[in-house]
């Protein structure tokens, strides 16, 4: 996985988790505090949207083997961001009388207050679940990166061993070449010695024949 993509992903998960907490807390606020929270959520969503676009560009520049999984992960993040956008629309008042209507609902009795508390707990649980999912995604990304790093180290180790084997084979070939060269010189010297011995033997035989001929000649000459 690209380190640039992983950096964008880490930033997005942190922003998403922070926005979930802000949405949960903003649902029980009113007035200026709620407006401030809504403004923070809108800014965070815009920043998260920018990160997703950068992640998409980075994913499309990766090899085909990892591109599909990265794009699938980006689709999940987009769905998560769309949920936050929906929550932002829910928090934004649709008309100037929205705050007054909410106050009337809060004053209508304790059962309504209990319902609001239950809704708040539900949103907090959803935010916690979203945070856990984001954390799991980051852990999975780190685990994938570690596996990739271990695979790269293993490949480098194998390549180093292969290089050592090739160097050893090259040294062995040089040794064989030297041995062949010495053997060739030895055979050449033996061939020269054999030829010289042949000439010497032929010379000795010739001399012996001449001596024998001379002896026979003198014997024949004396008998006459």
Model pLDDT for residues 63-91, shown as the tens digit of each residue: 887 888 888 888 998 998 899 888 888 88
**What pLDDT score was predicted for residue 116?**
47
Please report, for residues 1, 207, 222, the alpha-carbon distance to residue 210 in angstroms, rounded to integers and kept in the order given.
Answer: 97, 5, 19
Residue 194 vs residue 109, higher pLDDT: 194
Please report, for residues 132, 148, 153, 165, 171, the alpha-carbon distance to residue 160 in angstroms, rounded to integers and kept in the order given.
Answer: 42, 18, 10, 9, 16
Give the separation between CA 131 and CA 18, rounded to whole angstroms.
8
The one-character DSSP state at 61 is T
CB 88 within 8 A of CB 23: yes
N-terminal to C-terminal alpha carbon distance within the chain: 118
Per-residue pLDDT band for 121 (boundaries 50, 70, 90) equals low
**What pLDDT score was predicted for residue 145?**
65
Per-residue pLDDT band for 221 (boundaries 50, 70, 90) equals confident
Per-residue pLDDT band for 146 (boundaries 50, 70, 90) equals low
Give the separation between CA 193 and CA 207, rounded to whole angstroms.
21
Give the separation between CA 57 and CA 29, rounded to whole angstroms.
38
Which tokens belong to 41? Answer: 């959520």
What are the φ/ψ torsions at residue 116 (nearest 5 degrees)?
Answer: -60, -40
Instruction: Based on DSSP, count helices (H) and strands (E) in the chain, helices before strands.
Output: 5, 0
Per-residue pLDDT band for 207 (boundaries 50, 70, 90) equals very high
CB 82 within 8 A of CB 130: no
**What pLDDT score was predicted for residue 6?**
86
Predicted confidence (pLDDT) at residue 139 exceeds the cutoff of 80: no
Predicted confidence (pLDDT) at residue 19 exceeds the cutoff of 70: yes
CB 56 within 8 A of CB 13: no
- Percentage, residues of the chain above pLDDT 70: 74
**What pLDDT score was predicted for residue 166?**
85
Instruction: Report the range of poorest mean pLDDT among 61-75, 105-119, 199-213.
Output: 105-119
- Percentage, residues of the chain above pLDDT 90: 11
Q: Across the chain, what does the average pLDDT equal? A: 78
Q: What is the DSSP string of 92-147?
A: S-SSTTHHHHHHHHHHT-HHHHHHHHHHHHHHHHHHHHHHHHHHHHHHHHHHHHHH
| pTM summary value | 0.43
Query: Any idea what the Cα angle at residue 162 is, between residues 157 and 167, rounded to 5°?
Result: 125
What value does the mean pLDDT take over residues 106-114? 47
**What pLDDT score was predicted for residue 58?**
87
**What pLDDT score was predicted for residue 153?**
62
Per-residue pLDDT band for 112 (boundaries 50, 70, 90) equals very low
Tokens 């815009």 locate to 46
What value does the mean pLDDT take over residues 172-194? 85
Query: Any idea what the Cα angle at residue 210 is, between residues 207 and 212, rounded to 5°?
Result: 110
């Amino acid at each position: 996985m690209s380190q640039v993509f992983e950096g964008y992903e880490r930033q997005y998960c942190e922003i998403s988790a922070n926005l979930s907490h802000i949405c949960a807390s903003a649902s029980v606020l009113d007035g200026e505090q709620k407006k401030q929270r809504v403004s923070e959520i809108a800014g965070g969503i815009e920043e998260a949207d920018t990160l997703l676009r950068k992640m998409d560009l980075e994913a499309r520049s990766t090899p085909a083997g990892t591109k599909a999984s990265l794009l699938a992960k980006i689709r999940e993040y987009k769905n998560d961001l769309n949920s936050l956008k929906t929550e932002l629309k829910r928090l934004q008042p649709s008309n100037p009388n929205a705050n007054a209507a909410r106050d009337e609902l809060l004053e209508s009795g304790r059962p309504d207050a209990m319902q609001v508390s239950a809704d708040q707990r539900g949103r907090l649980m959803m935010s916690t679940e979203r945070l856990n999912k984001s954390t799991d995604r980051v852990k999975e990304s780190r685990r994938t990166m570690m596996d990739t790093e271990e695979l790269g180290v293993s490949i480098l180790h194998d390549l180093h061993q292969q290089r050592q084997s090739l160097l050893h084979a090259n040294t062995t070939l040089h040794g064989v070449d030297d041995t062949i060269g010495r053997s060739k010189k030895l055979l050449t010297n033996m061939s020269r010695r054999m030829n010289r011995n042949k000439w010497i033997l032929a010379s000795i035989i010739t001399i012996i024949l001449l001596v024998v001929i001379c002896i026979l000649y003198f014997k024949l000459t004396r008998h006459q």
